[in-house]
Structure 1
């Protein structure tokens, strides 16, 4: 069944108080400068209250807009506009805010989500890259009201100034203000806004490498691992004791390589070598003073796990071991180098390594590069605007091959893997016997 969402109004929501003149120019840190020119998309779905009449639409949307305006004053760069690859003009032009109507029940989304339909709950396509990106809003929000009384909150925040942790922190502050006002607990979670003093910017113009946006026919699917299946998966590793994220990443990486191998063997080609990148949140790793989790910016680093050569009989433990070693290399010494005289060269090491792998894969088709990012620990399910916790938090499909985003689940003990592969690889991947031992059935939300 086609689920049509109709936008009924569009407006700009400006910060509730003007940004002081001495804060008008917000500098990017070095890691912001190297971030892709996309938006980070998240959609939160809230079920209708037991008493549908208790939720007044005008009151709900009015409070959302008022509290959004106040949250933008705390996170004041988000109400401005990007200026090239150097800074944000904190001009208080505000966020884009759309209100939409969904003339169907929220249960139709929750019971059997159609990933191809989810983007209509966002204010715009998060992966659009145009020549006038500096004129685009930094934050876009869409509030979708369902016939049943349910609500969807879709948000896109520019990746040039925010990562997944930043999006989570902003949503937490916004929802806290919606319940308790600007003078409540939200005042205690004012973001850290001085990343440029730690990771000093350079005079660089970041260019997206060719081949990132795929021209192949892609397929994005959601694979769910609940608490029980994750416990069984981690037990498979014995004394190695990987984290939940490490275990799921190793399983997906190994299964994806196996899918690519089967496809190539059918075409009488050699099996592929493979490598993986994984995003590492560096906030807690900075020394001597770790950064708060609500620090605004791209405070992450992407590691490249070394090439896994074909036909060497790698086991699941091998994938996890290589991954863990690479992640642990992002330590205090590594991060100190990102703040030193050779910071740009250090920051670009993994970026250049990944680019070479992508180029090699595109030219000879012998290397498969898989990109992983985990949002599993971010407290999206604690974002309560006064309607209770979300029934479901999701992202959307991405136009990039071999991308995996790991999300948390409502109970907090599971992981949802959003996996985008070439369509012909997805057919093999979703029937992989080892993977299917641990994938849990989707619950009725």
Structure 2
């Protein structure tokens, strides 16, 4: 789909009230220190804009954003080094664009390359005048704007809100906490009566749970290359497909109660590990590794607060071979491998991280990534964004019609999200080229054709 997205304004939104002196320095946690700042976490929310004054609504978005930044003051500050954020109230960058089409045209046939136009570009995350080394394009953390917002206005009055947050300060749960706090603040401004929901209260003490290391004070990074082109496509697993997958993933030997996320994760892992394997090479086996990020907040005893800001995530590991053996291809077996990997991210693992121990993961990652760079290992990251309350983000113009994320970190990184009804899963799958994507798509179709044939045979 060809459309024009024209930037009509851009400004820096500062917190409505200055940050108190005793909060001017925010400490990053040990986990934050190990996180690279870019690519950012990006989220895109679509609203119809029906029965809402468009000019008034956009003014309220900016006003409520300013008020919200007062509560989320580190997001408006400057990353001083890899230890601290200087909460100087610099603010966040806010863009408004005009889109020369109807919102329905985009939602009817959503394409990754089109959707990316509604998100802030990578360059908008850098302060005016900042530039990297002419040779390495190496940047300094202090050049980063941590939060960038892009509000896209369609011809019909509908809007798409694009949020892009630096990954140094927080994870997806942090973004969600900010999003819903901003939405509630905006919604209160559209009503003469008080909102019946309490405001979201963020907590900023993750560094006290995971103390930073002074030896990690420096963290230069390189700007992303625009030449890194990847192919991203959305695969929708509705309720009927989820039911078929869960039925296929049930096996008393391995797993009797697979969840929808486990089932889709296992299916994607199974199919991505088969991409590139030809008939002539099926006898050759390689290691296939799936990384599955796990939210640590509920893994500690007692649990950490839901709205604790920071990168409170660890990677679970599942590993198999790419052989075509019945066991390695059994969906229930793959679900068990994923579940076993996730179960290891427990209270004991949290305690290890708090004392700077990685449980051997660092050595394992270096070994696997080294072999992956030589083409000896199949490596994929499958991230579940399911069950996060994106669809509760009502800014005063109703709940979103659709929420998605298309700004992938790179090839072999795949994101799972809820469908709007909460019963299905949308998988945003990314490969290095179109040939791999086509092969993956064929493998997915084949899986469901086999399931349908099995059901027909069982019925007869």
Q: Give your verdict on TM over 0.5.
A: yes
Of 95, 99, 110, the match for 2:96: 99
Question: For residues 358-403 of structure 1, what are the alpha-carbon distances to aligned partners after superposition, in whole Å with 9 as ceiling and x for unaligned?
Answer: 221212x121101011111111011011111111111114252211
Aligned residue-pair number: 426
Residue in structure 2 matched with residue 443 of structure 1 by the alignment: none
Residues 225 and 213 of structure 1: is their aligned pair in 2 closer, same or farther, counting only changes over 3 Å? farther
State whether structure 2 residue 323 is matched by structure 1 residue 310: yes
- Are 2:82 and 2:219, in contact at CA under 8 Å, matched by a contact in 1? no
Residues 107 and 218 of structure 1: is their aligned pair in 2 closer, same or farther, counting only changes over 3 Å? same
Unaligned ranges ≥5, structure 1: 440-445
Of 122, 131, 137, the match for 2:119: 122
Give the CA RMSD over aligned residues: 2.7
Residues 405 and 195 of structure 1: is their aligned pair in 2 closer, same or farther, counting only changes over 3 Å? same
- Are 1:277 and 1:303, in contact at CA under 8 Å, matched by a contact in 2? yes
State whether structure 2 residue 423 is matched by structure 1 residue 422: no
Write the mapping of 1:24-423 to structure 2, written as runs, cut at 5 A. Answer: 24-38=24-38, 39-49=40-50, 54-125=51-122, 131-181=139-189, 188-203=199-214, 204=216, 218-238=230-250, 239=252, 240=255, 241-262=257-278, 270-288=284-302, 290-308=303-321, 310-313=323-326, 314=328, 315-340=330-355, 343=356, 345-346=357-358, 349-363=360-374, 365-398=375-408, 400-423=410-433
Residues 324 and 43 of structure 1: is their aligned pair in 2 closer, same or farther, counting only changes over 3 Å? same
Question: For residues 211-230 of structure 1, what are the alpha-carbon distances to aligned partners after superposition, in whole Å with 9 as ceiling and x for unaligned?
Answer: x9897763211111112221
- Tell me, what secondary structure is at the counterpart of 1:260? coil
Q: In 1, Cα distance between the equivalents of 2:122 and 2:406?
A: 10
- Are 1:213 and 1:399, in contact at CA under 8 Å, matched by a contact in 2? no
Residues 11 and 185 of structure 1: is their aligned pair in 2 closer, same or farther, counting only changes over 3 Å? farther
Q: Cα offset for 1:181? A: 4.8
Question: For residues 217-250 of structure 1, what are the alpha-carbon distances to aligned partners after superposition, in whole Å with 9 as ceiling and x for unaligned?
Answer: 6321111111222122112222521222111110
Q: In 2, Cα distance between the equivalents of 1:223 and 1:309?
A: 23
TM (norm. structure 1) is 0.89
- Are 2:77 and 2:90, in contact at CA under 8 Å, matched by a contact in 1? yes
Q: Cα offset for 1:266? A: 5.9
Q: In 2, Cα distance between the equivalents of 1:147 and 1:414?
A: 30
Residues 108 and 352 of structure 1: is their aligned pair in 2 closer, same or farther, counting only changes over 3 Å? farther
Q: In 2, Cα distance between the equivalents of 1:235 and 1:126?
A: 46
